Each structure stands twice: as structure tokens, then as C-alpha cells.
Amino acid sequence: MQILATISDMSRLGIVLDLESGAIADVPVRPGFIDASIQGRAPCRPFGITWHGDELFVANNRQLLVFDKQLEFKRTMGTPLQVNTHQLAFCGSYVWAVSPWTNSLIGICPSDEVMGVEFDILEQKLLPYASRRAPENDDKRHFNSLLWTEDHVYISAHNFDRPSFILGFCRESLKIDSILENAGFAIHGLALHEEQLFWISSMTNEIRSSSGYSYRLSRQGYARGFAVTAQYFIVAISESRSRNKRSGGDSWIQVIDRQSGAVAGEFYLADTGSVNDLRLLDECDYAHGVAPFW
């Protein structure tokens, strides 16, 4: 199994980690990935990852970066996103990006880069996407992760210092039909397997589920980055640091056997800074819902 994880060290956009051999390959930061106009946050902050066909997409602040099968950079999409864009997922004809500062999902079409749509999560409205620069104080619930399934889209809300929650919307109508409250604190990542939702409660260092499952992670830190197979949970855990120090420090990837709860493997990643997100590249990932890239 191989994962791509986006990291914060400002020299690498991400790393590819082989979960069998432990081998690591770097995806470098290019000068064009750095936006010096961004204030108060890292000028290069890669986060969400998704793909379609032969193209892989990475969110980096306002940029939607496009890579090929060899993870060589191809181009930047013409429609800008928002600062602090979080997770990505491909569905229909769109790369969907969770945008906390606009409380919305922003959909960009790779085959028509000027065509964008926006789903206002709070108002449950689908609108044309109007490119703009949203202020941080417009962030109401800090929506951060999404998962498209056959009949739903699930969106998680970190919800700042209040209990987190997960919204379920009908895929066809985009009308809300479920709310899972008290989901933990500062949650990230969503997976669906055998009608059970899973996610990470980052602040309480747990994997949780909609059926009441709870697994306490053995390593302390800030857990963010989640993949799920039939056999394993794959979780990234970073050193807990204040925002202005997250480009430094180390991180770990744990592979956890779902049946026994044992840590089947742990990989130490020195000097990555915080891990922002991860995707499993070459196997079915119930936290992504997209066919493997490799």
C-alpha cells in the first residue's frame, strides 16, 4: 500500500510512503506554489488530495494544482479557490473542495476551468461559484472534510471549541437528511464502510463511528489524515504545535488492524511539519470513494 500525504515543511508539497517497505519519495514545492500575499498563514499550505483519470489534484491555499501519474506537476487550474481550503474529493464532473471560510463546497470542472459551482452548506443552495477573497471571520463552523457516497455527501464540522458534528445531504437534491451530533472535538476525515461512518476526533485522539465504536490512538499528538481499507485504519499523527510553528516538527503514520486494534505498523517521518491530509493511492479507500490512482 502507498499513501500520498501533504505536509507543512515548506520544501515538500507531500511525500509518498510505501507502507510495506517504508520507502519515501518527495513531491517538492516549486516557487510558483508560494503566495507571498497571504497574511497570517503559511504561504504554501498543501492540504486536500483527489484525482480523476490520469490527473491528481492538490489544494494549496487558493491554488488547485494538477499532477500526472508520476506525480510530476502539470499546471495550476485557472479558477482560484480560497485561503485555508481543506479536503478535496472528485464527484461527477467536479473537484470538490471544502472551503471553511465560505462555509461551502467549491466545485471546479477540470475540463472547463472557468466553470465552477458552489454549494452553500448552511443555506443548502447550489450556485455558480463567484471567485472572491473571503475573510477568516466568516468561518461559522469550520467545515473541513467531505465524503461522496452512492446516495449522499457527508460533510464534517470541526466546530471550534464546541462538539463537532457531521451533516448528511441527499446526493441528488443536496438537501440535508441527517445530522450526527456530539461526534467528538475537532474532527477530521470521513469514511463509510458497511453502512458505518468513521472519522477521527483529533482533540480527543480517537477514531469514532456512527455506531458507537471508539478506538483510542496509542500515539499522542494531533491526528489528521485518514484512510480506511477493509482491514486497516491508516492515520497520520503530528506533533501538537501552535499554528505558526507547524512547518516544523515530526509526524507518524500508523497502520491499525481494524479487527484486533493492534498497530500493525508505524512509520516515523522526521521534519515534515504537520501532516494535513493523506490518500491511499493504490487500494480501495473507504475514506475517499474514488477508484485507486495507481
CA distances from residue 174 to 28, 98, 125, 148 in whole angstroms, order as listed:
37, 15, 8, 11
What single-letter DSSP state applies at residue 210? Answer: T
Residue 114 has pLDDT above 90, yes or no: no
Taking the CA atoms of residue 45, residue 63, residue 15 and residue 69 in that order, the dihedral angle to the nearest 10 degrees is 180
Residue 246 has pLDDT above 80, yes or no: no
pLDDT band for position 3 (cuts 50, 70, 90): very high
The overall longest dimension of the chain from CA atoms, in Å, is 48
Mean predicted confidence (pLDDT) in 169-179 = 96
**What local confidence, expressed as pLDDT, does residue 18 receive?**
98
Mean predicted confidence (pLDDT) in 159-185 = 97
| Domains of the chain by start residue, with CATH | 2-280 (2.130.10.10)
The whole-angstrom separation of Cα 64 and Cα 77 is: 5
Residues pairing with 7 in the sheet: 275
Residue 243 has pLDDT above 80, yes or no: no
Q: For the segment 28-59, what is each residue's pLDDT rounded down to a tens digit?
A: 999 999 999 998 889 999 999 999 999 999 99
Mean predicted confidence (pLDDT) in 228-236 = 98
Q: For the segment 199-214, what is each residue's pLDDT rounded down to a tens digit?
A: 999 999 999 999 999 9
**What local confidence, expressed as pLDDT, does residue 241 receive?**
80
Q: For the segment 260-273, what is each residue's pLDDT rounded down to a tens digit?
A: 999 999 999 999 99
**What local confidence, expressed as pLDDT, does residue 221 receive?**
97
pLDDT band for position 167 (cuts 50, 70, 90): very high
Q: For the segment 64-74, what is each residue's pLDDT rounded down to a tens digit?
A: 999 999 999 99
pLDDT band for position 113 (cuts 50, 70, 90): low
Express as a percent the part of the chain with pLDDT over 70.
99
60: CB partners within 8 A, 6+ apart: 13, 33, 44, 45, 46, 47, 85
Q: For the segment 151-161, what is each residue's pLDDT rounded down to a tens digit?
A: 999 999 999 99
| The model's pTM | 0.97
